[in-house]
A and B are shown apart, each in its own frame.
Chain A
Amino acid sequence: MPISHNGHISITGVSKYFGRHKALDGVSLELPPGSVTVILGPSGSGKSTLLRAINHLERVDEGFIQIDGDYIGYRREGDRLYELKEKEILRQRINVGYVFQNFNLFPHLTVLENLIEAPIAHKQLSRKAAVERAYELLDVVGLRNKADAWSRHLSGGQQQRIAIARALALRPRVMLFDEPTSALDPELVGEVLDVIKTLARSGTTLVVVTHEIGFAREVADKVVFMVDGKIVEQGSSEAVLNRPQHPRTQQFLSKVL
């Protein structure tokens, strides 16, 4: 397997149980560095669980996930995998940015404080450098003038753009988006998708769970379709969206298009 440090995600035979319910069922996926992958599927198909597993917000029961050869949640020595302590798991997450459906900005901190929190906590940057970096990121998402605002005074679309900037502050190799536009009013969806499109050309590996078919068509290198915890179809966006092979994919696309 090629070892790069550009955000190569390798998922091998991953299963996850919630009680008796099998949320993920033997999922395997290779996502090359800098690629943009959109995961589609009906609700309850395990899309979000897979995304959470990549960031170890969800511990998988079978199989393993690697980013640039590092096992997520484990350390390999010879033929053994040692489970990592919480501290080491937290350090692994520096390489992975995560954007939530509900933004989850810290409401007691200003926008700027939200952005500098993680780089300072990880001693990646001095406070001054972190502030500079925060302003660069605010330019990327087009919200420089909101640096001193409180997050709850921003619209949903602005909050999500700040949340994306916050995730980018650690310069992650991988960005995960969990339905980033599902909690937004329809007229605010575009501004968030525009920011993600900018990132798609930046070399960061993106994985996006979404229902925005148009976005998938325009930006995705790869579209993955999941049903009942399994990947039933994957391929280029053109192939999966225009010529779906699996009946469940056809059924789903006929409903959402």
Chain B
Amino acid sequence: MTTPETIKVIPARYPLRTAGAFVALFVLAIVVQSVAFNPRWEWHVFARWFFDPAILYGVGQTLLLTLLGTVLSVIIGGLLALARLSSSWLLSSLAWGYIWLFRSLPLIVVLIILYNFSYLYDTLTIGIPFTAISWGQFETINVLGQFSTAVVGLTLVQSAYTAEIIRGGFLGVDHGQYEAAAALGLPAWRRTLRIILPQALRTILPSGFNEIISLAKGTAMVYVLAMPELFYTIQMIYNRTQEVIPLLMVGAVWYLAITSVLSIIQHLVERALARSERRSAINAAPRVSRVSSPATPVNAQEPVHAHLS
């Protein structure tokens, strides 16, 4: 065997990238310096209010609204998606109409309309329509308080978006999967829940979590109902104390924390769902090393050398 010719490899250099990185670091330093050393940010006020019981109660309300809005909109959105996909023309059109309506109306408009619902209907009755049968009657103003109005409003709007995401996930599953399930004669519910839904979740979850995150932020909108969630509580406090910026920072950091936690949950759920994909990565690992092993030179060479063949 002849000794292989060795040629030195010089990595390509990109001076502009280095310059760009320095500029970015410089800008970052300016921002940090101004935030940390401008006394008007009043970080001591921030620290005083951050764990204040009123603020924590507001955070709790925001989380509760997000949770209820998510659960209810997944249930209603799921049903709407199935209605949209159903072969019944009427069901599908009604679902389309609902989605069209609540995607078109701004959340704030829906909330205020709901809040004024008692103007339209003094009482809400549970019974059989068009008959005198009634099991209970409630004052609208008592039923649709601040909290329930907020939940209903958020759910109405959110479920329209959720329905479209779920429908998109179902449509994304290969048609052959529906046919295979049909050819095996699997009952409709089993086909939907065991065969189609698990595959649809892969596309539903990333956009679904985006929706949950926007819902968590969207709850700030219910301040118009004077409901003491995080944002309204903050406004109440700074209107009294005039410490506007530090309190807004308290809110900003709490919203950041909430959405960060949601992002982490999203990451974990997606990883769990990719169970079979991950196994494939493990299976592939030995193959990678097998491919790379012949490439490693048998006799150790000087570093940064390459064979020419």
Contacts and interface: CB of A to CB of B under 8 A. Distances in A.
Interface in A100-115: 100, 102, 104-108
B276 A118 contact: no
Contact of B185 (A90, A104, A150): A90
B180 A100 contact: yes
B2 interface: no
A102 B283 CA distance: 24
Interface stretch (A2-10, A91-99, A200-208, A233-241): A91-99
Contacts of B186: 90, 117-118, 121
Nearest to B184: A118
Interface stretch (B92-100, B121-129, B191-199, B220-228): B191-199
B183 A93 contact: yes
Interface string B171-188: 000101101101111111
Contacts of B177: 104, 106
Contacts of B179: 57, 100, 104
Contact of B190 (A91, A97, A108, A121): A121
Contacts of B38: none
B180 A153 contact: no
Interface residues of A, number: 29
A170 B185 CA distance: 10
A7 B173 CA distance: 33
B176 A166 contact: no
A87 B185 CA distance: 8
B183 A57 contact: yes
Nearest to A94: B185
* Size bracket, chain B contacts: 20 to 34
A86 interface: yes
Residue from B174, B185, B283 whose CB has the most chain A CB atoms within 10 Å = B185
A106 B193 CA distance: 13
Contacts, number: 67
B279 interface: yes
B293 interface: no
Contact of B195 (A90, A94, A106, A166): A106
A150 B276 contact: yes
B239 interface: no
A118 B185 contact: yes
A153 B186 CA distance: 25
A55 interface: yes
B185 A91 contact: yes
Contacts of A118: 184-186
Residue from A100, A108, A170 whose CB has the most chain B CB atoms within 10 Å = A108
Contacts of B174: 104
Given A107-B199, A153-B283, A170 B184 contact: yes
Given A108-B199, A150-B279, A150-B280, A100 B184 contact: no
A122 interface: yes
Interface string B135-175: 00000000000000000000000000000000000000010
A96 B183 CA distance: 8
B184 A153 contact: no
Given A104-B179, A106-B177, A87 B198 contact: no
A107 B280 CA distance: 12
A248 to B, nearest CB: 30
Given A90-B188, A106-B177, A106-B195, 18 more contacts: A55-B183, A57-B183, A90-B182, A93-B182, A93-B184, A98-B183, A104-B174, A104-B179, A104-B180, A106-B199, A108-B276, A117-B195, A118-B184, A121-B184, A121-B187, A150-B279, A150-B280, A170-B184
27 contacts: A55-B183, A57-B179, A57-B183, A87-B188, A90-B182, A90-B188, A92-B185, A93-B182, A93-B185, A97-B183, A98-B183, A100-B176, A102-B176, A106-B177, A106-B180, A106-B199, A107-B199, A108-B276, A117-B186, A117-B194, A118-B184, A118-B185, A118-B186, A121-B190, A153-B280, A167-B184, A170-B184
Interface of A: 55, 57, 86-87, 90-94, 96-98, 100, 102, 104-108, 117-118, 121-122, 150, 152-153, 166-167, 170
Interface of B: 174, 176-177, 179-180, 182-188, 190, 194-195, 198-199, 276, 279-280, 283
Top 7 A-B pairs ranked by shortest CB distance? A104-B180, A93-B185, A98-B183, A104-B176, A118-B184, A90-B185, A108-B198
